[in-house]
Structure 1
């Protein structure tokens, strides 16, 4: 065991020192917007180095009674290094100048909330998602989306997941309240005590349980709209509406195992929120586009009992409002979505994203050239 632990810790020490060297090299050319994240990751790497050196020091004592503790610490150290080497270090080692756009948006986004403002953010390549690796956060973003404006509003949805985590006990309580409301709305009119009734009860419990994760996604969509306005609705809709039948309808078995609501449900909730906030044109556009695709696919609204607009929508929206009150995300200002170019257009990410979508919708052929100039202006501020 002594020799085995010595081998593993020697190997770990070598890899940690190698990673320290790589981080220092990459830091030289990394965008300034990544500095806070780099500082955090280098600190974690230094901590791992101290731990492995301590293990090696204890092993030099050749005390049999220490081996069990050293084994336990080596296991923990190995897992921590795998996380650092496999996920956390990647945004630094892959960093390039084009990251500045996304990183500047994320800096601004985190700064809008008192509990998020000191959490360093980074980006990595991948489908839109977020890794809550506290005390830092990594936003996965498709490669081309990192370099343009149209899809950046989706960051606001991912930011919603961070807000949920920062308020998790209170948010879980609100979701549990929603689950109880939903269960009440699918309770049978006649109570029976037979095998069929027990089967129905199991199915109702499945629907209720599914809404625990679904509610979180709907909350993040709501965060996206109240923070970013119409540009979030347009970006979210276009990104998902042509991804096939599963965005519109799933089988009962698929619904049972899904972590996200059918996207068509989310669009209905998003359109309802837009309309309630006075953006009927946006709501109509969402509904029209999704209905057009659904018709082309031959899909009708059938969500297998997991969602009923007449019964579920009011209570869901009310509970989402409560969740927004609890987390207090920054709400967009009317001037930021008016699509009028002002001095603040390039200093406010929300104004810039809404202007970008207006330009794209009105003049798609001229959009690319406008976007290039807009990004330069934004980064120069």
Structure 2
């Protein structure tokens, strides 16, 4: 097996889209330049929820999948500041569908936990809020494995094949490159993209960049990015002000490169992906006699929306959306799909109240 089903499923769970803003108290054309006001000794409580939306044909299913809580601690570091994520707790909502195979249960739980954990290592950032590196990568890998493995092993019920897939997943996904990449992306969404830049309400900045392929390892691909500040709204800002800024960023990878990567993944792992989703895969597909999965169209969009203090960039609310849509042929039958995952985080500042 080239890679585990779980690895493929996790890698397919990458990318984004977002919500509308509330009434503005600032007018289009107003300008401001946010700084970076995270200070040593700060303690921030975070509460996240993950909602999944699945639409197949005319049928749409949406519901909360899981929640997570953690504490962000800011402390001094010789290179600037240490942003620590402590007391991470993930809870799944609801029961598994009746008859869902053990491999699919393990796949769902591991992918869900990784959605939270892989974004929350401890970070070293500069005094100006620039991402420098992940602190203690080896220690973080140990934390991730020891948090996820016991849950997955219990669901596997001793199945040696599933346990082997779990080992493959943790070895392949919980690696330094992916941890650094996801951590850098999230910090950019929270702070680095916005700090020390002159923003005009309603103005959109566009750029093209190269970044890692979200589906398979390999050469970087081209992305288009649009970012701007949609409004400033009334709030209780952590700095003591009464106005917050709403920042929005949309990313789209080049469709040609994404389509090629998806097909590469399907060619090597199509049967395993379908089995992990609970489909009964006939022997001719498992043995490679026919293509189990073919993508004909695939589009991916990422959208981040942040409400933050316009002076310090201390966050109050963050929404990260991953949207994927397309069509193809699975087990000889045509299909279309639309999935959207929404991670919403509320931040609070207990010492400041």
Q: TM-score, normalised by structure 2?
A: 0.26
Which structure has greater helix proportion? 1
Which structure has greater strand proportion? 2
Q: Which has the larger radius of gyration?
A: 1
Determine which structure has greater relative contact order: mean sequence separation of CA pairs < 8 Å that are 6+ residues apart, divided by chain length: 2
